[in-house]
Amino acid sequence: MSTATAGAAPHTPLPDVPEMRVAIVQAEWNHHITDALTNGAVELFKQQGFTDDRIDIFKVPGTVELTFAASQLIEASLYDAIIVFGCVIRGGTPHFDYVCQSVTQGITSLNADCDIPVIFGVLTVDHEQDAIDRAGGRLGNKGTEAAEAAIKMHDFVCKVKEL
């Protein structure tokens, strides 16, 4: 399930969320990585009893477009959580920094301003192998962890609404 690394949060049982609907937004750039992240998330949701009609997957060209897509899905009010998956691999130009900063600030802003959690599933790595290791490789699958976070954050929102 979750990646077992030093400093990682201890695994706690996932709450039961029988009516939860989730949207996954996946960047097509570095699709061999983002496909693996999406597959890891869907697998976790299925293990938790989610049916296909509770999981929708949307694809966008690249990582920068994830914020806009998540914003549009929030406005649609159809989902209880949104997960964004992208993969940015450092290159020889400052493009890496611009993309990482853009998507990080964009998703942070959505989380601060909106009432639907947006789970940040963007890998920002130095080398392709770093991404492979985190997308089902030797370090687990960050997609699975994102699905766990989505379930826990939806449960959190439900508890807050009950106060």
148, 8 contact by CB (below 8 A): no
CB 25 within 8 A of CB 85: yes
95 is catalytic: yes
> Could you say which of 11, 95, 127, 154 is catalytic?
95
Distance CA(14)–CA(35), nearest Å, equals 24
State the amino acid at position 62 in one-letter form: G
Q: Are strands 135-137 and 140-141 parallel, antiparallel or unpaired?
A: antiparallel
21: left (phi over 0), alpha (psi -120 to 50) or beta: beta
- Conformation bin of residue 94: beta by default, left when phi > 0, alpha when psi is -120 to 50: alpha
Give the catalytic positions in this structure: 95
